[in-house]
Amino acid sequence: MHNVVIAGSGPAGLTAAIYTARANFAPLMFEGAQAGGQLTLTTDVENYPGFPDGIMGPKLIQDMHAQAERFGTTFRAADVTRFDLRARPFHLTIDDEETIQTKTLIIATGATANPLGLPSEARLLGHGVSTCATCDGFFFRGQPLVVVGGGDSALEEALFLTKFASGVRVVHRRDELRASKIMQDRAHKNEKISFQWNAVVEEILGDETVSGVRLRDVRTGKTQTVDCKGVFVAIGHTPNTKLFQGQLDLDANGYIRTTHGTATSVAGVFASGDVQDPHYRQAITAAGSGCMAAIDAERFLEADG
Ligand code: NAP
């Protein structure tokens, strides 16, 4: 029987692990399919306090991991494939074969990049279509690229890709960006970045690899083809809550609803990070809510015996 199981290993999960491990609850963490979460897919993190010169996302995660390990967190690379939250202790199925029990559960399963939903996007994923500039940018040296989206992620991807690409066209469905002012300023100053306003990607072109995109102007309906060798999709995220549907109270977009800090609709289950946060979605707010979840779980265990 475990005291604390943490599902997810981004900044929320790792901070929860540091706190519950230091409180002697010997947490067990399931790292999930994308160990380290979204920060492992980013480059420079410039807004995490304590790093005046910035820090690479993967390095920040690596250091949090080492810190959690130092205080006695057990890590498992396996996936939790079923959560049974009907009664305490909770029953968790691991990789469809093993069952474990825990008195409390901290959910920090994060969110996943949204696809455009085009058949051509699915067909060419990994062959020119990507959701991770850090992972795939290097393959497009000297090539023209398209980034889809108008938020911070889209501009961050576009700026990073200018290190490799001959040019980056940002395709946005409105004529106004959602991204923060500082990112907008940087993108507008970068000569390699251009914008296609009021446009959506209707089709990604290419047989074996991407050769271009067909764009549709949302006001006039007119279409045009833009040549490019890569398409980076950065249109937001969906919370990873499929396994909690019907068990926890979720909002209309699938985010876990929390009250009084990180409490969910089931006593003993706490949620932190992007899985319960449609508003802030920053590494620092995820870490902060991971700390809150740990303290909430500790208090619950102390009160519950
Ligand atoms: P976001 O802020 O939700 O932006 C998503 C963008 O994609 C929006 O511009 C949206 O258009 C567009 N979009 C959504 N669905 C679309 C579709 N089906 N087709 C075409 N376009 C579509 O998501 P995000 O950029 O991933 O950012 C998420 C959060 O992380 C934000 O809070 C952001 O500040 C934060 N973040 C921060 C940094 C940083 O500080 N450096 C970096 C990355 C992310 P509309 O604008 O028309 O809705």
Give per-residue pLDDT as tens, 177-217. 999 999 999 999 999 999 999 999 999 999 999 999 999 99
158 CA to centre of ligand 1 in angstroms: 13
Residue where a domain terminates, one of 179, 202, 233: 233
Nearest to 214 by CA among 117, 113, 120: 120
Nearest CA residue ID for atom 36, ligand 1: 152
Nearest CA residue ID for atom 34, ligand 1: 152
What pTM did the predictor assign?
Answer: 0.79
User: What does the pLDDT average to over 60-71?
Assistant: 97
Q: Which of 43-47, 127-131, 261-265 has the lowest mean pLDDT?
A: 43-47
Per-residue pLDDT reduced to its tens digit, 118-145: 999 999 988 999 988 877 898 899 999 9
119 and 223, same domain (yes or no):
yes
102 and 58, same domain (yes or no):
yes
Residue where a domain terminates, one of 181, 201, 233: 233
205 and 250, same domain (yes or no):
no
49 and 158, same domain (yes or no):
no
Per-residue pLDDT reduced to its tens digit, 209-239: 999 999 999 999 999 999 999 999 999 889 9
What is the CATH number for 178? Answer: 3.50.50.60
Ligand 1 pocket, mutate which of 178, 213, 233 (most atoms under 8 A from CB): 178
Q: Which two tokens stand for residue 231?
A: 């398409």
96 and 50, same domain (yes or no):
yes
126 and 228, same domain (yes or no):
yes
Query: Containing domain of residue 177, as a range?
Result: 115-233
130 and 211, same domain (yes or no):
yes
Q: What is the pLDDT of residue 224?
A: 97
Residue where a domain terminates, one of 188, 212, 233: 233
User: What does the pLDDT average to over 44-63?
Assistant: 91
Q: Average per-residue pLDDT in the chain?
A: 95
Quick check: CB of 216 below 6 Å from ligand 1?
no
Q: What is the pLDDT of residue 305?
A: 61
Ligand 1 atom closest to residue 180's alpha carbon, by position in its atom list: 34
Q: What is the pLDDT of residue 279?
A: 81
Ligand 1 atom closest to residue 183's alpha carbon, by position in its atom list: 41
100 and 119, same domain (yes or no):
no
**How many structural domains compose the chain?**
2
244 and 103, same domain (yes or no):
yes
284 and 248, same domain (yes or no):
yes
